[in-house]
Amino acid sequence: MSGFIKGLLGFRRGAWEMLASILIALGVFMLMQPFWLVAFTYSFIVTLVGTVMFIIVSHFQE
Amino acid sequence: MSGKVVDTLAKATPPRLARKFKGLSDRAIAWIFVAPTIFLLLAINIFPLIWTIRLSFTNFRVNRVNADVKWVGLRNYERILSDPDIWQTMQATAHFLFWTLFFQVLIGFALAYLINKKFKGNDLWTTIIVFPMMLSPAVVGNFWTFLYQPQIGLFNYVVSFFSGVDPSSFSMIGSVDLAPWAIVIVDTWMWTPFVMLICLAGLRSIPDSIYEAAECDRASKWRQFWTITIPMVLPFLMLAVLFRGIENFKMFDLVVQLTGGGPGSITELTSINLKREAFEKWRTGYASAYAVILFVTIFGLASIYVKALNKVKER
C-alpha cells in the first residue's frame, strides 16, 4: 500500500494507471448496478475522470 | 522486395507518373499513400465524434432543422443520468453482457478443447459448429422467434421433453422473467463458435514439447491443464472476451428481431433505447449525450482491458 502511495506521489505510471483503472471499473459498476439510483447518476463523471486520467497517465514514465 | 522486382516495377511505371514523383523523399511518398486513409478516418470517425459531443450540449432535433438550436449545457446529461428507464436499460444490458460472455467463454473453450483432440470427423464438426456464426443476425432473430413459439416452437418441445412441463405453458419471448434469458440463449448459440475458434487458435499454438516435458516431470493432466493450457490460452481468451464484450454492449439487430425490446422494455438494451430516442422520438441532442456516455464507458473499459491483456502477454 505504501508503495502504491509513493508511486502516486512520484507520478509513477503504474500507480496512477491503477487508480484510473479503479475509477473506470467503479464508474461502470455504478452505471449498471441495480441498487442505487444516486450511484447511477454519478457513474458517468466517475468513468469520465477515470478515462481522461488513464489517457494522461499512460504518458507518464514507468 | 528484391532489387529485380523493384526494377521491374520502376520500368512498368508510366513516364509521366515517374516524372511527377521524381525528387520526392521516401517520407513524402509514404504520406501520399497514408493521406487518403487518414482523411477517411477523420471524416468518418473523428468528425462525427466531435460533432456528436457538440450536439450533446444542445436541444437539436434532426426532424426540425429550421428550429432554433439552443445551448442547454449539461441538461441532457442530467436528464439521462436521473432517468429510471435508462437505468433499467443499463441493467438489462449488464445482464445480457455478463451472461452471454460467461456462457460463450465456458462453452466456447470446452468445445475448442474437445475439437483440439484429434478424432475422426474433426474438420466436419468444426464446420458444423461454426455454421451459426455465418448466418445473418436478422435471420437468426427471425427463426428463433419461431423456435420459441409456445404452440409450434421446437425449443418449447425440447424443454418439455426433458422437464415434463407442458410446452404451451410458457413463452420464452412473452414472459418478463424468461425474455432476458431468451436473448442470452440465442446470442450464445450464435457467437460461441467465434470464441471457440479463437480458443482453438490458442490451443493449437501450444507446442507439444511443453506437455511432453510436463509428462516427464510426472505432472497430472489436471495440473497440465491449469499450469500450461489455461495460462497459454488466456491472451486469446481475453481477446475473444474483448471482441464479444464490445459487440454485445452495442447489440441491436438480433434483439430487435427477436423481442423488439419487449415484453414492456425488459429486453430493451441501451443501443435499442438509443435508436428510439434518436430516430423515433427525434431527440438528437439528448441521444447524442446518451451516445457520448456509452462511448466513454466502452472506451474506458477497453483501455483497462487492453492494459490487462498486454500484461498477460508479457508474462
- Whether residue A28 is contained in a domain is answered as yes
Is residue B162 exposed (0-12), middle (13-18) or buried (19+ Cβ within 10 Å)?
A: exposed
Three-state DSSP class for B205? coil
Q: Tell me how many helices (H) and strands (E) chain B has.
A: 16, 0
Q: What pTM, to 2 d.p., does this model score?
A: 0.83
Residue B182 has which C-alpha cell? 431468451
The pLDDT assigned to A3 comes to 72
Burial pattern A23-59, b for ≥16 Cβ within 10 A else e, equals bbbebbebbbbeeeeebbbebbebbbebbebbeebee
The pLDDT value recorded for residue B305 is 85
Does any domain span residue A62?
Answer: no
What count of residues does chain B have?
Answer: 315
Residue B1, pLDDT score: 53
Instruction: Count CB neighbours of A60 within 10 A.
Output: 15
Residue A40 within a domain: yes
Interface test with A, best of B82, B87, B93 (most A CBs within 10 A): B87
Using CA atoms, how far apart are residues B112 and B203, in angstroms rounded to an integer? 8
Helix (H) or strand (E) holding B135: none
Q: For residue A54, what is its C-alpha cell? A: 488513464
Task: Using an 8 Å CB-CB cutoff, list chain A residues near B93.
Answer: 32
- A32 Cβ under 8 Å from any chain B Cβ: yes
B241 CA to chain A: closest CA distance, Å?
16
**Full residue range of the structural domain in which residue A18 is found:** 2-57
- Please tell me the total count of domains within chain A: 1
Shortest distance between the Cα of A60 and any Cα of chain B, in A, equals 15
In a domain, A19, yes or no: yes
Nearest to B296 among A40, A42, A47 (CB): A47
Decide if B89 contacts B265 (C-beta within 8 A).
Answer: yes
Q: Which residues of A touch B303 (CB under 8 A)?
A: 24, 51, 54-55
- Which residue in A42, A44, A54 is closest to B293 by CB distance? A44
**From CA B37, how far away is CA B87, in angstroms rounded?**
38
What is the gyration radius of the CA atoms in chain B, in angstroms?
26
Over 80: is that where the pLDDT of A11 sits? no
Q: Which DSSP string corresponds to B249-289?
A: HT--HHHHHHTTT-STTTT--HHHHHHHHHHTS--HHHHHH
ipTM topping 0.90: no
Low-confidence ranges of chain B (pLDDT < 70): 1-3, 21
The top-level CATH class assigned to B76-314 is mainly alpha
> Does the N-terminal peptide bond of residue B263 adopt cis geometry, omega within 30 degrees of 0?
yes
Mutation choice for B interface testing from A23, A24, A35, A54 by most B CBs within 10 A: A24
**Residue ranges of domains in chain B:** 3-55, 76-314
Q: Do B90 and A37 touch (CB under 8 A)?
A: no
Q: Provide the grid cell at B295.
A: 462511448
Q: Which residue, among B53, B303, B305, would best test binding to A if mutated, counting the most A CBs under 10 Å from its CB? A: B303
User: How many other C-beta atoms can be found within 10 angstroms of the C-beta atom of residue B188?
Assistant: 20
Look at residue B106 in the predicted model and tell me its pLDDT.
Answer: 95
Q: Which residues of B221-255 are buried (b: 16+ CB within 10 A; e: fewer)?
A: eeebeeebbeebbebbbbbbbbebbeebbebeebb
Query: What was the pLDDT predicted at B3?
Result: 65
- Whether residue B198 contacts residue B133, with contact meaning beta carbons closer than 8 Å, is answered with no
Residue with cell 502477454: B313
